[in-house]
Amino acid sequence: MASDKSCLVANSNLVRRIASKRENLLTDTHLFMKEIILLGLNALDVSRISIWMIEDGKYLKCVLNSEWYFTEVPPQPPIIEKKNHPEYFSAIFFGNSIVVNDAETDERTKSFCDDYLKPQNIKSMLDTIIFKEGFPIGVVCCEQVGESRDWSVEEVHFTEVLADCCTYRFMAREQAKLEKKLETLAFKDALTGVHNRRFFFESIDVIFNQHVREKQPLSFAMIDLDNFKSINDKFGHEAGDLVLRKFAEIVKSSLRKSDLFCRLGGEEFVIAFQGLTSDKAKEVLERISKSVHDCSIVYLNAKVNFTFSAGISQLNYNETIIASIRHADEAVYQAKKRGKDQVFICK
């Protein structure tokens, strides 16, 4: 029994197209592997296809099986230990495809005979290697039940395409994860976990234009922690970092998802209150101020108290973003001038 060559070529191209898709690279790889398995199962007309991943170089764990296609992965998936099947593992690490017409007699697979091949009535196997940076990390395993099978060159090549596409997909997913991490690092403040200055100024144009277009209120709050240098001088920079993190935590828990909260640098923060007037924004900041007063930070057995001053400006549709932010910054100065620990609205 052999698969139709033209069918294999067509499905090889389809597998490559699926593997090259950029969307959803950060989703569960099982979704992609299910597509690959289903295509392989139909194209090869084989009894079963499974994907196994190498763990610690000592065993293989089955992560997907065509028989599980419409079910969840078992809580304890099958495992193959290297110590029980050294010839099979040697073949994997050698890197060539394992083409086995008679699984019960082949040196690479006969160790499976009593425990696996005979009970499952498996006669032939075709296993191709999934690589990562030139090293085997898994196997695509095709099994023929009931009768021996002479695997054709085209079938071997098609199965190698399945394995190579798994390789590509895994590497693309890791690249996507790395890109996501770098993006997060680029736009997040490492200390507090809130968005940074770069994110604020890359996001605010869209928010600003939307509110101008819809004639909706938009208020800016510039925030400066009071006497922050004194906290660093008296308790040390680690205590100052604790204060910044605690303040960011309090603010985040007090805002809506639509509000944009960013650390501009040092002890300076900014909030864009979408859809709020300056008076409503002040109410929010006064609640935050009360939470700050109620909180307690202990560093090296010393209690560290802190407060903040804030200035608010409401969007004037005839002014620029920079002008609105400058008004809020001027309001912070007025709050400081009036004794600190207060919220001042720019009129």
Catalytic residues: 267
Task: Compute CA distances 180 → 24, 195, 290, 341, whole Å.
Answer: 12, 15, 36, 38
Cβ distance 141 to 101 under 8 Å? no
Cβ distance 215 to 275 under 8 Å? no
Contacts (Cβ under 8 Å, ≥6 apart) of 33: 51, 63, 64, 166
Q: Kindly report each contact of residues 332-336 with a partner whose C-beta sits within 8 Å and lies 24 or more positions away, as own/partner.
A: 332/222, 332/223, 332/224, 335/309, 335/310, 335/311, 336/224, 336/226, 336/309
SS3 73: coil
Distance from C-alpha of 326 to C-alpha of 40, rounded to nearest angstrom: 62
Distance from C-alpha of 58 to C-alpha of 89, rounded to nearest angstrom: 9
